[in-house]
Structure 1
Amino acid sequence: MLIVMGLDSLDADTLQRYTTPSIDTISEEGEGGRMETPDGLNRDELNTQLLWPSMLAGQNPRDLFPSYYEDNSQSTKHWNTKVLSNPLVRRIEREVSNIASSKAKRYLKSLLAQFGYEKEHVGENRLAEAGSLLDSAAAPHLISVPGISEDDMNRDLKGMIAPKSARSEGRSGYEPAGDISLFEQKALSADANRLIRFLNAIASRRHDFVMCHFFSLDLVQHVWADTPPKLQRWYGLYDDFVRRVRQTLSEDDTLVLVSDHGMEKEGIHSKRAFYASNRRLWKDTPRKMEDLREVLESELPRHSPADGEQMDDSAQITNDTKEHLSKLGYFS
């Protein structure tokens, strides 16, 4: 099985400052280090919803999403940075989310989609048109990949941070909009949910290609990129995620770790993306993000959905156990 673990905003330089034995082991077993972000993009153009589909397509985002990079007066695709990233618009979006009914939210979401504002799935149609690594896989499985299949919970998480007030200390431009502990709890819970789905998909042995994107490190670094104790905690948490994934691997599995960009101390995206694999896959250096598709496609033929023994993950409960649980109130 070819397994890709997308660690959003994992910074190749920041990683060196903290103890991450599991990530280090992946690099030592195969290869690892910095990956170059796409040519011609400045830090403000490293858009998460465009970078991940572009990696799978093996293209520069400028080529895959040309309208996005046109002048705002000529294109509505600039909404992501010019409109929805505007602090005032983000604040209004949060307020609407707090007061609107579920029915109203669904209506607003469908209305935004009609105007091209559904950024979570902006790359899905483009991959169908342009082709991608997914076309080469016999049984691919994606979990919350931005621009393609991103979880709705990410939108709620983004609503939990706000532009930093003038009274706030530090260099980062954002801060939690409410209780800090609750923000961290929900951020970690969202990615822990994805980790469980990821581990189950790997253990099932039903796929030749599995990819899961972990979002919350990006959110946390936008808030605490200038706070080493927080970074140490969160880089350590994701290193533990990697450890748990390694425990699920079979001997023939290939594990790839990749980020779409890094993070500066000011809480803005850096061009220091990261890549590692437990096998040597990359023939040429420097590693370029546009070449990732070709590198993974070269590895994919080694894997099939039948790699290893399939796991039966259905619950098997005996009648005695069921009766016991029923008495305890687990079944109505």
Structure 2
Amino acid sequence: MVFIVLGLDALDPDLVDRAEHPNLALAADRSINTIDSLEGEPSTHELWPTIITGLTPPEHGLTLSEDGIAWGNPLLDIGSRIADVVLPDTLQTRIGAWLLTNTTADAFRTPMTYYEENGIGTVFDGREATAIGVPNYVVDPDETDREHELRQQMGELFQRDPDARGGHTSADPLAFYEQCLEMVMIRLARARRGLRSRESELVFAYTSGLDLVGHVAYDQPGLQRAAYDELDELVGDVRSDLGKDDELLLVSDHGLQDGVHTHEAMVAATDERLVADIDSVTDVRGAIEMELDRVDHRPEGRVFEERDDADSEAVREQLEDLGYM
């Protein structure tokens, strides 16, 4: 039995249509409360650590500064110390935006060791768990996957601009959309492999594609609608791999409309029991752990069935008929 959690950044309860998006609504869905950052809106950087720990951002310590830049990131830390002394706040913000757009600096790459070093528990502790791309929970800092590489290679397709609506601009929204959906496909494909392998009791996979599209689609709402439609199909592929006892939970950190993060997040699950007690992003960890403790989810490993002689002979005959043998 596998419990699979898909972290769908910016999945907005107001934009999920139960009739058109059955795989995003699943058997039960609900809007939940999220938490604002110092910059005045919910922050991905802060909220995924909240989701996996059950702690508020001040409690887990991974917070943004008032300008929306994670100056505590080691790659930005030295520059921030100098900037604090010699630069005005507005210029610091612009420099931070430039660094995140034009360098390999990444605000979401806090290693998993941070939590143990600071005495912070997570949903992964003591479990046979697979964490795929969870922001600020990096299992191996030296390893990246294709989604991470695509995000770092966006260049003009996704530029941070403090003056733009939604805080970002794109030189080519259509090309950007395709790249974002490729990112979604990569992470959900990895989630499917984790599910099919049967080696983990918990598979937790995150993707940022929906959030990224939303930040530049404020003047092209059709792109965001298309992203929801495609995401529904891709989650449907994951859903089709579920065994009869497997469970699927979708969770977001906030919504996103008109290019701006909204103050409602969302959960959906294959069983209403899984979301019944989730009222806030701080409740997600507890709900996952309660379900993992309720039923034995210890991995059984994948079993490959041997073909019998009759099956092998039938395949051979088909190949001969097609001229391959």
**TM-score, length-normalised on structure 2?**
0.73
Separation in 1, partners of 2:48, 2:91: 19
Residues 13 and 265 of structure 2 are in contact (CA less than 8 Å); yes or no, is this contact kept in structure 1?
A: yes
> RMSD of the alignment, in Å?
3.4
Q: Flag the structure with higher helix content.
A: 1
- Partner of residue 249 from structure 1, selected from 202, 224, 242: 242
Separation in 2, partners of 1:282, 1:133: 16
Q: Does residue 1:131 correspond to 2:121, yes or no?
A: yes
Deviation at 1:63, TM superposition (A): 1.2
- Partner of residue 146 from structure 1, selected from 105, 110, 135: 135
Residues 18 and 235 of structure 1 are in contact (CA less than 8 Å); yes or no, is this contact kept in structure 2?
A: no
Q: Secondary structure at the match of 1:233?
A: helix
Long gaps (5+) in structure 2: 81-88, 139-143, 306-325
Deviation at 1:88, TM superposition (A): 4.8
Q: Residues 254-265 of structure 1 correspond to what in structure 2 (within 5 A)?
A: 254-265=247-258
**TM-score, length-normalised on structure 1?**
0.72
Separation in 1, partners of 2:304, 2:155: 35
- Tell me: CA distance 1:268–1:207, structure 2 relative to 1, closer, same or farther (3 Å): same
Could you tell me which residue of structure 2 aligns to residue 321 of structure 1? none
- Tell me: CA distance 1:33–1:252, structure 2 relative to 1, closer, same or farther (3 Å): same
Separation in 2, partners of 1:6, 1:132: 15
Could you tell me which residue of structure 2 aligns to residue 289 of structure 1? 281
Could you tell me which residue of structure 1 aligns to residue 55 of structure 2? 59
Could you tell me which residue of structure 2 aligns to residue 176 of structure 1? 170
- Tell me: CA distance 1:220–1:13, structure 2 relative to 1, closer, same or farther (3 Å): same
Deviation at 1:197, TM superposition (A): 1.3
Could you tell me which residue of structure 2 aligns to residue 48 of structure 1? 44
Could you tell me which residue of structure 2 aligns to residue 223 of structure 1? 216
Deviation at 1:292, TM superposition (A): 1.0
Separation in 2, partners of 1:306, 1:253: 11
Residues 11 and 266 of structure 2 are in contact (CA less than 8 Å); yes or no, is this contact kept in structure 1?
A: yes
Q: Secondary structure at the match of 1:269?
A: strand
Could you tell me which residue of structure 1 aligns to residue 225 of structure 2? 232
Separation in 2, partners of 1:255, 1:77: 34
Deviations, residues 223-261 of structure 1 (Å, cap 9, x unaligned): 013533112110001101110011110011110000000
Deviations, residues 157-190 of structure 1 (Å, cap 9, x unaligned): 4763135799x9xx6553313x333322222222
Deviations, residues 285-306 of structure 1 (Å, cap 9, x unaligned): 6x11111111110101324343
Residues 204 and 310 of structure 1 are in contact (CA less than 8 Å); yes or no, is this contact kept in structure 2?
A: no
Q: Secondary structure at the match of 1:242?
A: helix
- Partner of residue 300 from structure 1, selected from 267, 292, 298: 292
- Tell me: CA distance 1:64–1:37, structure 2 relative to 1, closer, same or farther (3 Å): same
Separation in 2, partners of 1:11, 1:133: 23
Q: Secondary structure at the match of 1:211?
A: strand
Amino acid at match of 1:156: Q
- Tell me: CA distance 1:224–1:84, structure 2 relative to 1, closer, same or farther (3 Å): farther
Q: Does residue 1:77 correspond to 2:72, yes or no?
A: yes
- Partner of residue 119 from structure 1, selected from 92, 103, 107: 107
Separation in 2, partners of 1:53, 1:215: 15
Amino acid at match of 2:58: R
